[in-house]
Amino acid sequence: MTEEPATPRKHKLIEYANGPSLEEINGTVEVPKGKGFWRTLFAYSGPGALVAVGYMDPGNWSTSITGGQNFQYLLMSVILISSLIAMLLQNMAAKLGIVSQMDLAQAIRARTSKTLGIILWIMTEFAIMATDIAEVIGAAIALYLLFHIPLVIAVFITVFDVLLLLLLTKIGFRKIEAIVVCLILVILLVFAYQVALSNPDWGGVIKGLIPTAGTIATAPEIGGITPLSGALGIIGATVMPHNLYLHSAISQTRKLDHKNTDEVATAVRFSNWDTNIQLTLAFVVNSLLLIMGVAVFKSGAVKDPSFFGLFDALSNTSMLSNGVLIAVAKSGVLSVMFAVALLASGQNSTITGTLTGQVIMEGFVHLRMPLWARRLVTRLISVIPVLICVGMTSGMSKVDQHEALNSLMNNSQVFLAFALPFSMLPLLLLTDSAAEMGKQFKNSMWVKICGWISVIGLTILNMINMPSSFAAFVGAGQIGIAHIAAYITIGLIIALLAWCLYDMHRSNQALIASKGENNHA
């Protein structure tokens, strides 16, 4: 009797998922064993690049350039400190994934109640959508600037980057990493070239890396921004919650024998190298953006910090700082290169944002969608506020329309400040736990101290900035209501953080007791 061939299982659009993080690519990348440092580092390099993308996305550009225009090199130290904090947090996230074999979303869900897990999932989904709004605006503006495509059509075209994603899913994760690295290099080379032509004051740049009291001063106020609000803007645009979820998942793409602690230790070590190298590149890009604000343009020349304004300024010889820049700008090269870098940044963020969305959906609520469907849903939701903004300003002057889009992009980042503590605190608690990570891999004392200082400091700074962020969101006529809403939000954040702390502490104690009983048996 012959066996009937098995009928292939039909995949549903939404399926139950409770397996390894990003199961299709988990453990698929082979790594050499017993080889030299550089060959091993090359094998582990890649996840750090996907994470670094979030630190140089379109949301970072205007804060860094405006900071340079208004305060010269004063805020260089803020970019440096933000980058060091980012390295600390991302190394923790990668270590969590490698050691526990769970991404951050899975680990939080496993260590908190179902109700809290769903609340945190919804918050993180909104944070991803807020990030996607900045990407929609950046990509649409780049298409408008490069090809003169009307903004409404350009916004719709950004939806079709789902086709790019479909193609990428067919070529293998290692090639996706390579494409992302190439796009990062495009961004880096564009800004390095423009800064090199401007011949900046390198002594001033180095001096700016040292923090001073003036870095967080509330005066002077230039263009409605103080050094403190400028610093908070740079910090808010730098450390983003979705990157922690992403890194804890993609750090698991390397094939390891998790029973061999030496292999796990090697993976953690080289993951740290990868992270620190790639985030150093992100630091360089953000520094170049600030230096552009100081050295490429004449001081105070850029009145419109939107992407439109910066594009025009790079072709306006009256705004540029020296003869070499002016000569190159006449050809239109500077402005075109800026728009190309903007498009590259938007496409990079497309890849990482979609992977992160899948991570949090599978981790928090155990549901999986095909990557293309996930991307399509998120992008269509993100497109709606952008289209409304373009539609409402269609009858206004171009300057008003540009300002409205820039304001929407900046205000969309408000939710990131709300969501950030709820990824940082659980990450720190999980990696501080010997029961979770084992004595060998739990955070060392200096990492623990720096981690708590960073988490508490960033949370407090975000709360301090929240009233002004809410006020900017609603406009000058509703400042009182905005401040009340901000203080209610701060109260909710504190209550939710306390709930999260309680749940995770109780879960950790239960894990310790369980391991103690197993050892005793």
Give tens-digit pLDDT for 421-464: 889 999 999 999 998 998 899 999 999 999 999 889 888 877 87
Position 104, amino acid: L
236/244 Cα distance (integer angstroms): 15
- Band (pLDDT 50/70/90 cuts) for residue 169 is low
- Ranges of beta strands (E only) in 289-439 are 367-368
Of 421 and 168, the one with more pLDDT: 421
Lowest-confidence pick of 33-42, 243-252, 262-271, 366-375: 366-375
Residue 8 has pLDDT above 50, yes or no: no
389/396 Cα distance (integer angstroms): 11
Both tokens of residue 413?
A: 């980042």
**Cα angle for residues 486, 407, 461 (degrees, 5° grid):** 40
Of 22 and 253, the one with more pLDDT: 253
Lowest-confidence pick of 162-171, 234-243, 406-415: 162-171
Segment 30-42 shows an average pLDDT of: 88
Residue 74 has pLDDT above 60, yes or no: yes
15 phi/psi in degrees, rounded to 5: -125, 160
375/270 Cα distance (integer angstroms): 31
Give tens-digit pLDDT for 480-502: 888 898 899 899 989 999 999 99
Residue 7 has pLDDT above 70, yes or no: no
Lowest-confidence pick of 5-19, 220-234, 406-420: 5-19
- Band (pLDDT 50/70/90 cuts) for residue 479 is confident
CB atoms within 10 A of CB 492: 11
Segment 299-327 shows an average pLDDT of: 79
pLDDT value of position 277:
94
Both tokens of residue 506?
A: 């109780």
pTM attached to this predicted model: 0.87
Segment 202-227 shows an average pLDDT of: 83
Cβ-based burial of 56 (10 A; exposed 0-12, middle 13-18, buried ≥19): buried
Q: Are 256 and 26 in contact (CB under 8 A)?
A: no
Single out the residue of 79, 84, 30 nearest to residue 56, CA to CA. Answer: 79
pLDDT value of position 474:
67
pLDDT value of position 332:
82
R_g of the chain, CA atoms, integer Å: 23
Segment 127-147 shows an average pLDDT of: 85
Q: What are the start-end ranges of the H helices in 53-103?
A: 58-71, 76-100
pLDDT value of position 5:
47
Q: Are 26 and 252 in contact (CB under 8 A)?
A: yes
pLDDT value of position 3:
44
- Band (pLDDT 50/70/90 cuts) for residue 385 is confident
Give tens-digit pLDDT for 339-355: 888 888 777 777 777 78
Give tens-digit pLDDT for 247-301: 999 999 999 988 899 999 999 999 999 999 999 998 998 899 888 888 887 776 6
pLDDT value of position 519:
61
pLDDT value of position 89:
94
Both tokens of residue 464?
A: 């301090």
378/383 Cα distance (integer angstroms): 9
- Band (pLDDT 50/70/90 cuts) for residue 119 is very high
pLDDT value of position 126:
84
pLDDT value of position 357:
84
- Torsion of Cα atoms, 180 then 186 then 188 then 191, to 10°: -150
225 phi/psi in degrees, rounded to 5: -125, 135
Residue 511 has pLDDT above 70, yes or no: yes
> 3-class DSSP state for residue 113?
coil
pLDDT value of position 68:
83
pLDDT value of position 6:
45
Domains in the chain, please, with CATH? 18-417 (1.10.4160)
CB atoms within 10 A of CB 40: 19
Residue 165 has pLDDT above 70, yes or no: no
